[in-house]
Chain A
Amino acid sequence: MEIAAAVASGAVAQNARTYHRVTDLRARGEPFTWVLGGALCLGIVMIVGFLLLVLWNGFLTFVPRPVAVVTTTAGKVSAGEVARTDTFRPAPDALAKLAPDAQEKIKKAEGFAGRTLYRIGNFDLYSEDFRWIDDNEIKSTEYPKNIVYVERQEWGPFIGTVKAITLDGKPAEGTDFSAPAVASAYSEALARGKRVREIERDEIGNVNHEVERARLAVRKAELKSGRDSQAYKDAAAHFEQLSVDSRGEYERLTAEVQRLRSINDKFTVTFAEIGGREKTVPMVNIVRAYMPNDLSFAQKVGVYFSRWGEFLISEPREANTEGGVFPAIFGTLAMTLLMVIAVAPFGVMTALYLREYAKQGRLVAFVRISVNNLAGVPSIVYGVFGLGFFAYVIGGSIDQLFYPERLPNPTFGTGGLLWASLTLALLTVPVVIVATEEALAAVPRSMREGSLACGASKWQTIRNIVMPRALPGVMTGIILAMARGAGEVAPLMLVGVVKLAPELPIDGHFPYVHLERSFMHLGFHIFDVGFQSRNSEAGKPMVFVTTVLLITLVAVMNAAAIIIRNRLKRRFVGSQF
């Protein structure tokens, strides 16, 4: 026994023991061991490298980078941020046009040449956001201090210089953006812009909502008691009245919007791009402007965090490639939360049934294997089921019963938050069942027997003795289910995720929580911006940041699972028999 233990205790001990004996070197299998170990190294490098790549890109996206003014040998001048560098093989005809020494250099590098992708912005003037410039073509690169980098509400960033500032229709002195008069005008313009958005979205939205409700009430009365009924006539009269009333309100609001807009139009900044073409931008459209080549460290940090802030709390713009992802964060969290509300009780109930109530036999063993297997069924299959069953069958019936006035527009009869949550609940319920069952199995039988022997009922035993001990395992299961659910995208694409949801699932209109609405999701945001947007290059930084956010979310949940498990384990470790 001793020897066996010594042998098992590690490689060193074993090798020391056989040191004096002659062992065939091949029996050690050194080369094979290296290949095995190498595979492990490769696996670790893959995962660590992947995470580093994502984190590096994600966290550096918002760092303000200097803007280079590049002059090519052909005399073309471009100003832009370096997006990335690349090596490529120039086509033969392009190669032939280069200078002889450059050709020589490329030939030496086996036909590879370097190039740099500059984000030149000014999409409204250039019709392109990015420009590749070959390293061999560059004559000079400068970093002028007076270049401004302007993030706008429309058309993406502008890179150039400030030409003139107009305040209230009159030209202001100088081009300094931080002058007090300019700064205060800017914040006032922003406030007006905010007010315009408020009116457009909330107040006009409210008016429209009221009118729409009245219209639906008319339709409902018509369906319920026919056109000749009193209810229908009342509803119709109410609708007429409301339409007339709201028209006045609506006109008043639009006039107000018009007034604010016309004021804002008088506060503008005129920029000039590097080639001299000018562009006048209303102040209200400027999200952020800074001098990238003249930033102190503190200012850089300021820009960095203000960008993060915008990302986390504001709404997307420019086809999701800029702005924030707040609706997506909200959607992801809301969906995950709803999913947990659905999955936790049912998963635990099923596990309790399988472990505490059902007769342990072949049938339960079969059910257990099946439940285990369901964890391996592809998520897209659940998506198909969710669409067909939840949205079309159940949702369609709900619409027929409760919302006939809105047909043929579906209310619950299409993808939405509720159906997405239920679909994911179904997808993750095996995870909870398996984890809970294991936790229940780990509670010693003697504790149950003791409790029952003291006269406690079965439910009292489960509630007071079994569940508290099993809780860490249950919590772990639930949190793992959340992590799995938050990272799933494929099924959501079928049951209610959209690229841009006009309204959040929670708002100020009765009944305040709208579970039938489609929603945005971080995972789908990645897919959409990365693959379906106009310019995937422009969206890439956004995708990286969203990726970091999603991975963090999943990682935090996984870590929480581990921590809770450890905490609760410690709390109950003393009470074990």
Chain B
Amino acid sequence: MAETTNETGQSFLPQQRRKKTTPRSVIIADKVADWTIRIGGIGVIVAVFGIMVFLAQTVVPLFMGGEVQGSHTLAREESHPALMDVIDEYKTVSVSVAEDGAISAFHIATGTSLTVPPLDFGGRKVMGFNHTLNGRDMAFGFDDGTLRLAKLNMGAVLLEGDLPAGLTKLENGDMTDGSAVYSQAAAGQIRKITVSAVLEAPQQIATQGTALVAVDYRLGGTVERPEKSFVTIDANGIGRLSRSEAKSNMMTGEVTETLTSSELPGLPQGVKVARVLMNTSADAVMVADSEGTIYRYATRNFDAPQLAETVKLLPSGVSLTTMGFLIGEQSIVLGGSDGSLDVYYRLPRREGDKETADGQILVRGKVLERHKKAVVNMDASQRGKLFVTADEGGEVWVRHSTSEQVLLRLKPKDYDGAYKAVALAPRENGVLAIATSGRVFEWDISVPHPETTLKTIFGKVWYEGYSEPTYTWQSSSGTDAFEPKLSLVPLIFGTLKATIYSLLFAVPIALSAAVYTSEFVHPKVRAVVKPVMEMMASLPSVVLGFIVALILAPIVETWIGAVILATFLVPMSWLLGAHLWQLLPNPIALRYGGLPRFGLMFAVLFIAVNLAVTLGPGFERIFFAGDFKQWVNGSIGDSHRFTTLLVLPIAVGLMYFGMERFLPPRFKTWARNPNRTVAGLAEMARWVLTLTVGWGVSAVVASVLIAVGLDPRGGFLDTYVQRNTLIVGFAMGFAVIPIIYTIAEDALNSVPEHLRGASLGCGATQWQTAVLVILPTAMSGVFAGIMVGMGRAVGETMIVVMAAGNTPVLDWNLFNGLRALSANIAVEMPEAVQGGTLYRMLFLAALTLFAITFVVNTLAEMIRQRFRKRAAQL
């Protein structure tokens, strides 16, 4: 009871009840804190997991293929069969050119026709036709043997101010005056799109009356001095390569065109030419007959074209139905009447290939998914390797050459007969197909990332200009014609290479140091040594990268001989020191077994390093024929001596093991001699003997290895680059050693003291206790340390950016650089466009890193927890 009463039951104090309830403010504070902490806490946890979700969500569109956002059919009165169709940059107007020269332009959304003056062919009939990739330059071959070139102009002008009067409204704010379309552009401006065409004068190419059945035309040169190259095949099967150059007279300003022609040799009599292709630099011409035989000409020498190669690319019974370049003119797409569609590359001839006149050869790079019916039409993108193909059955497929995938399969519901032309919008956001009936089918499409599939990212891909499928990372270049090469494999390989080599360096040092700190030094020394080693972990990695790449790399390059010598000499010196130490009488060895011995180890290290520097040049002369860099890339010397040196540690190790196992007990008793000096001498003798015999054995093994063809050069040792994996490994050592060291040392140190005591009490030496009792018990903790160190090495960025040279190569060469996932992100992210393919690819790289480290760390954590449980049970 809170009330205070006296014996009589009457209160001395005025009646006053003390509150039993908690003050409101406390309750409110409690509630507020409760909710804040709950929401904040859960929020942070969600946010942290949100990272993974966000990364994944950004990556997913890479694998989504394409999407149709809308489609419609326009029934138009089209009396003239179209030769080709072009869409303008803004997907507003479609223009098609018909066989009789009529140009029908219409507003895509509504089908409203625009008036465009036709091309006047003067009654001649078009027999051969072709156009450039953007459809702006056209060539017509006529039945009378003349050729006319034409230019299609689709201008888009931004207008300031008010619209002209008398416009007819179309859709979405678009308007027309009958011949041009006005549409709303950004910032309140008006865009006016006009269409016009200019036809040049006829040029008599073939003899009068012989029709030109196939033509191709490229416009080169400069604006002031255009150079028009074209190739024509006439009905008699005579091919001609022509060039028309315009020269303007400086005085009169008069333009004169000169036409030069030369005949293409070697076309068989009566060949039925289906298609002819020429590239922009006019140094390669391909004539295809209807059976699929390609006559490839090298036309670098314009006056004397050379038939370089004749090859039949289609099986017999299949006729050629379509053929065209992709952007960059390195890929040739060939479609057959059986629905097949292949991509060919023109590559340098390799050993074993068919002999060709110009040392090049057409190679089938890709076999793409077949259509069910003959492929009749195609149109290629102007900004990538995307293209559309249409077949007789009405299917229109949007596909990509690099990724070999079909992104969209379009078929109109009301398909009614063959397509005359298909067109892909310049921004890859629309497809248009014109049927013979005059119907126009239009699809609004979205194919943001056509070049990526799981296969292109993780598998081998045959890129343009490459002699075989490769794993390549080369994300960007200046031109649209460049084929992005987005394989993560070289980057993942680079990360693994850096990780493995740095762990090879760091793990032995870190673990040895941890065992020594935990088991062999006085706790007072340990209290100093451990923080010093841990200090390494707090060094910013940018500092490590800078020192190692700019200061150390040039030194290592000059003194590479000494560095290699030191890796052998330093451990050897410690062994020598140990054997000399064993010679000391026991009392002295005991008295100075602590800090002085540790100090001596330092001294030996310094002496060995000094010795390595002094002997480095001599070592280089003996082992590497005097110049390491030339030796290592295989231009001088042999590798027998160095291979011997590499085999030596293994040989000696095996011999030691063998001696313990198989030597008669009589020999072992040497070491048990009560006189320590004698025992020590015996041990020393054994060591020297092992080394000598080991050297002999290694020499033999090395000869065998080299005879078998296992030269270390060309494998993990090859051409020396200044910023290489050795340097990276060393720098990464600074980052990784302290992590492994701390975790391993903690694990070793937390092994219960009674185990140590029991082992020593039973008469085991410190060494035996450490190796046979403590280490096995702490093994899982030590292993966890290595895993965590590995996680750090995988994700380290600045060191690899600065010290690794950043070349995405796939080799194990210790002396070559690498490009790691993390470095790649750091280098390329600043120039990646938000939402673009590269941007998402880099997110994929980040996700990969995230996944690798998350798995590695989770495993480490699980192992550690198991170890803790086991240690607690002991």
Contact = CB atoms under 8 A, between A and B. Distances in A.
The reply to whether chain A is a binding partner of chain B is: yes
A378 B794 contact: yes
B193 to A, nearest CB: 23
Interface stretch (A142-150, A287-295, A488-496, A500-508): A488-496
Interface string B509-535: 111110111001110000001001101
A105 B521 CA distance: 48
B780 to A, nearest CB: 16
A409 interface: no
A483 interface: yes
A289 B767 CA distance: 64
Interface stretch (B66-74, B210-218, B331-339, B590-598): B590-598
B839 to A, nearest CB: 8
Contact of A37 (B516, B545, B788, B794): B516
Contacts of A22: 672-674
Interface in B489-544: 508-513, 515-517, 520-522, 529, 532-533, 535-536, 538-543
B849 A381 contact: yes
Contacts of B550: 530-531, 536, 540, 543
B167 interface: no
A276 interface: no
Given A27-B767, A426-B48, A460-B30, A369 B516 contact: no
Contacts of A547: 543, 546-547
B317 interface: no
Contact of B547 (A44, A50, A426): A50
A485 to B, nearest CB: 11
Contacts of A48: 532
Interface string B757-786: 110110111111001000000000000000
Contacts of A10: 522
B857 A373 contact: yes
B672 A25 contact: yes
B758 A543 contact: no
A366 B689 CA distance: 56
Interface string A12-33: 1011101100111111111111
B767 A29 contact: yes
Contact of A389 (B54, B598, B822): B54
B680 interface: yes
Interface stretch (B4-12, B88-96, B158-166, B599-607): B599-607
A381 B795 contact: yes
A297 interface: no
Given A27-B767, A34-B581, A380-B795, A489 B41 contact: no
Interface stretch (A238-246, A333-341, A344-352): A344-352
Contact of B44 (A88, A350, A373, A463): A350
Nearest to B787: A376
B41 A358 contact: yes
Interface in A310-361: 345-347, 349-354, 356-358
A527 B547 contact: no
Interface in B793-814: 794-798, 801-802
Contacts of A43: 509-510, 513, 533, 536, 737, 741
B540 A353 contact: no
A100 to B, nearest CB: 21
B578 A429 contact: no
B662 interface: no
Nearest to A430: B48
B532 A47 contact: yes
A462 interface: yes
Interface stretch (A122-130, A133-141, A170-178, A550-558): A550-558
B574 interface: yes
B465 interface: no
Contact of B602 (A45, A459, A524): A45
Interface stretch (B21-29, B378-386, B469-477): B21-29
A35 B602 CA distance: 11
B767 A388 contact: no
B617 A371 contact: no
For chain B, give the interface size range: 35 or more
Nearest to A384: B846
A42 interface: yes
Interface string A368-382: 011111101111111
Of the candidates B22, B741, B760, the one having the most CB atoms from chain A within 10 angstroms of its own CB is B760
A142 B563 CA distance: 37
A24 B671 contact: yes
Contacts of A98: none
Interface string A514-533: 00000000011011001100
A222 to B, nearest CB: 9
A40 B853 contact: no
A19 B586 contact: yes
Interface in B218-253: none
Given A459-B30, A547-B546, A380 B846 contact: yes
B849 A378 contact: yes
Contact of B513 (A27, A40, A460, A540): A40
Contacts of A487: 538-542
A380 B673 CA distance: 60
A388 B833 CA distance: 11
Interface string A227-239: 0000000000000
Contact of B516 (A28, A31, A36): A36
Interface stretch (A106-114, A198-206, A470-478, A568-576): A106-114
Contacts of B63: none
Contacts of B834: 392
A371 B846 contact: no
Interface stretch (B135-143, B274-282, B391-399, B824-832): B824-832
A367 B854 contact: no
Given A110-B618, A350-B44, A373-B854, A384 B797 contact: no
Contact of B574 (A29, A38, A53, A463): A38
B791 A376 contact: yes
Which interface residue of A22, A43, A377, A426 has the most chain B CB atoms within 10 A? A43
B575 interface: yes
B230 to A, nearest CB: 43
A499 to B, nearest CB: 12
A459 B536 contact: no
Given A373-B858, A489-B541, A7 B760 contact: yes
Most chain A beta-carbon neighbours within 10 Å: one of B48, B579, B674, B854: B48
B121 interface: no
Contact of B761 (A7, A27, A483, A555): A7
A258 interface: no
A119 to B, nearest CB: 16
Given A378-B794, A530-B546, A44 B829 contact: no
Which of A4, A19, A376 has the largest number of chain B CB atoms within 10 A?
A376
A35 B41 contact: no
Nearest to B615: A110
Contacts of B541: 487, 489-490
Given A43-B509, A490-B798, A551-B543, A88 B590 contact: no
Given A37-B516, A39-B508, A349-B36, A15 B590 contact: yes
B27 A42 contact: no
A44 B849 contact: no
A463 B30 CA distance: 10
B869 interface: no
A17 to B, nearest CB: 9
A87 interface: yes
A193 B190 CA distance: 50
6 contacts: A4-B760, A8-B756, A26-B671, A38-B574, A376-B856, A531-B802
Query: What 5 pairs between A and B have smallest CB-CB spacing?
Result: A378-B795, A353-B41, A110-B617, A29-B767, A487-B540
Given A8-B760, A351-B41, A378-B795, 17 more contacts: A4-B761, A18-B763, A23-B765, A25-B582, A35-B574, A42-B605, A110-B620, A110-B621, A111-B617, A357-B41, A373-B857, A458-B34, A486-B540, A487-B542, A489-B540, A540-B550, A547-B543
